[in-house]
Structure 1
Amino acid sequence: MFRNKQFVGELISEFIAVFIIILFGDSVAAMYSLYDPSPYRNAYWGVCIVWGLGVTIAIYVTGAVSGTHANPAVTLALALFRGFSWRKVVPYAAAQVLGGLAGAAIVYALYAPVIDHFNLAHHLDRLHDGGAAGVFFTHPGDFVTPIHALMDETILTAMLLFGIFAVTCEYNTQAPQANGGALIIGLLVAAIGGCAGYLEAWAINPARDFGPRLFCYFAGWGPSALPSPGHYWWVPIVGPLAGGVIGAGAYECLVRPYMPRLRDRVPSDVGPLADGPTTDGRVAGQP
């Protein structure tokens, strides 16, 4: 499998997808955080839209090759419920994390002087204060503990996967047709950020958080990135993975069996995979 040219192409595709998402998303986080006055401080919805458009663009660029999972939580859910190969799960996740790391490196190349000026102006230090780290990876917001953040990330990622599975369900007659699903998934990501982003910056994707966090560890943030204050680093990994399974499972059990062409079948034909989902998991999704 690992010598298969198509599989290598899929891994490259997943790398590029997360790279694109982080390039857009962390750049808009830099615009939001590092400038005074911030162009987005009183227009937070713009931040959410840019993250969502990053996802949409990533799907349009790479969806035909790998399906644009762009998120280990999506890959895991597809393996559990849509027949995606378990042998590909870890390689896909690794490619996604590396894409996040590379995307963060390019954002750093763009904004390094601005980051340094911001930290100097605010008397912050990367290593000890985590100055400007919020550009790259997530933290608990005001009044939010790491354990509460774990619950938040589980719930928000469940919302994400529930929506992705609905949008990409071949029997959902209300889902957007053709390539419109990419835009709807991007808007879904934006909507989650718009309603809950201040809780802990809505990671909802282990690769989106851990890839940039790993870059920052080597770029001077050290323990501010890993393990991070309160040993928070594991929360944006475990929460999304658990939430993705919950959200996807809820759709598969509570909604999909009652789709029009499924409910007309005889009971013996209806099962988790009775509608013949794509076995390679090509159901474009993120984040």
Structure 2
Amino acid sequence: MSPRKRLIGELLSEFIAVMIIITLGDSAAAMITLYDPSPYATAYWGVCIAWGLAVTLAIYVTGAVSGTHANPAVTLALVLFRGFEARKAPLYIVAQIAGGFVGAALVYQLFQPVIDHYNTLHGVTRMDGGAAGVFFTHPGQFITPMHAFWDEVILTAILLLGIFAITDQANTQAPMANSGALAIGLLVACIGACGGFLEAWPLNPARDFGPRLFCFFAGWGPAAFPSPDNYWWIPIAAPILGGIVGAGLYQAAIRPFLPASA
């Protein structure tokens, strides 16, 4: 296979991976947001599992082609610590954001009548941010934007610490290749279960930015960009910083002491 054809396949893989994650994950968000009573009202763990299984499915579908970064924070951490080609990183990130955009469009196709009914019932419009939580993230109760920033640094650091451990062939306690996807999905679900109410656990700039960009053009306008309190940049910058911190911590404090590295 030529390098050009291989790169095209990798970019398509990243696009499809994020599209899968957003289509399924944001659909779970729609189920908890738009329906009363919500099927998840007393079982929030179900939302977390849905997001985690969406990640697992994306890895099973695309992992053999691109490795399923599916997250700019993962791509940049791999450039810094695992030798991923830096020249590919911007293309991967664009593909990931495009996948988030199209995934949000598919969720809109599925739930648009329910979104409109929800907004009418609650006397809000898209410009007011009505049902925006289906698509992109925002601070939860009592959380300021800057507090949210540090929350997402911490949570994404945990995510990348786990991903680097799970995918490290030198780590004898890591799951084997065929079960690594499930372990990463469960890690995402666990983080959501432990911190999802803070800011809907973005952890992934493409997960937030792609759907936010779609919503800007689909009628949400300033509720998406720049969003209340100019929040839009936090789910981009904080996960990137957190990813570097978590991956760097693994590489510096764990990997050198593994038996296989001794």
TM-score range (shorter-chain normalised) is over 0.9
Q: Hey, what does 2:45 align to over in structure 1?
A: 45
Which secondary structure state, in structure 2, belongs to the residue aligned with residue 203 of structure 1?
Answer: coil
The one-character-per-residue Cα deviations of 1:55-82 (angstroms, maximum 9, x if unpaired) are 0000000000000000000000000000
Provide structure 2 residue ranges, at least 5 long, that are not aligned to the other structure. Answer: none
- SS at 2:177 equivalent: coil
Say yes or no: does 1:95 pair with 2:95: yes
Q: Deviations over 1:214-259 (max 9, x none)?
A: 0000000000001100000000000000000000000000000011
Whole-angstrom CA distance in 1 between matches of 2:141 and 2:177: 41
- Which residue of structure 1 aligns with residue 109 of structure 2? 109
Aligned to 1:236: 235
Q: How many residues of Structure 1 are paired with residues of Structure 2 in the alignment?
A: 261
Alpha carbon RMSD of aligned pairs, Å? 0.9
1:49-68 equivalence runs, <5 A: 49-68=49-68
Cα distance in 2 between the residues matched to 1:3 and 1:196: 41
Q: Which residue of 2 aligns with 1:156?
A: 155
CA shift digits 1:157-176 (9 cap, x unpaired) = 00000000000001111111
The structure with the greater share of residues assigned to helix is 2
- In the TM superposition, residue 8 of structure 1 has moved relative to its aligned partner by 0.6
* Counterpart code for 2:214: F
Secondary structure at the counterpart of residue 174 of structure 1: coil
What secondary structure is seen at the aligned counterpart in 1 of 2:178?
A: coil
Residue of structure 2 equivalent to 1:281 = none
Distance in 2 between the 1:250 and 1:206 partners? 21
Aligned pairs for 1:152-231 (under 5 A) are: 152-231=151-230
Offset at 1:3? 7.4
Unaligned segments of structure 1, at least 5 residues: 264-287
Q: Which amino acid in 2 is paired with 1:178?
A: A
1:271 corresponds to which residue?
none
Q: Deviations over 1:101-126 (max 9, x none)?
A: 00000000000000000000000111
Q: CA deviation at 1:261?
A: 1.5
Q: Give 1:84 shift.
A: 0.2
Residue 36 of structure 1 deviates from its aligned partner by 0.6
* Equivalent residue, structure 2, for 1:77: 77
- The residue type paired with residue 174 of structure 1 is Q
Structure 2 counterpart SS, 1:4: helix
> Within 2, Cα distance between the matches of 1:72 and 1:225?
20
Is the radius of gyration larger for structure 1 or structure 2?
Answer: 1
CA contact 2:171–2:260 (8 Å) conserved in 1: no
Alpha-carbon distance in structure 2 between the residues aligned to 1:256 and 1:170: 10
Regions of 4+ moved over 4 Å = none
Letter in 2 for 1:61: V
Distance 1:225 1:78 in 2: 29
Q: Which residue of the partner structure matches residue 32 of structure 1? A: 32
Q: CA deviation at 1:9?
A: 0.5
The amino acid across from 2:194 in the alignment is C
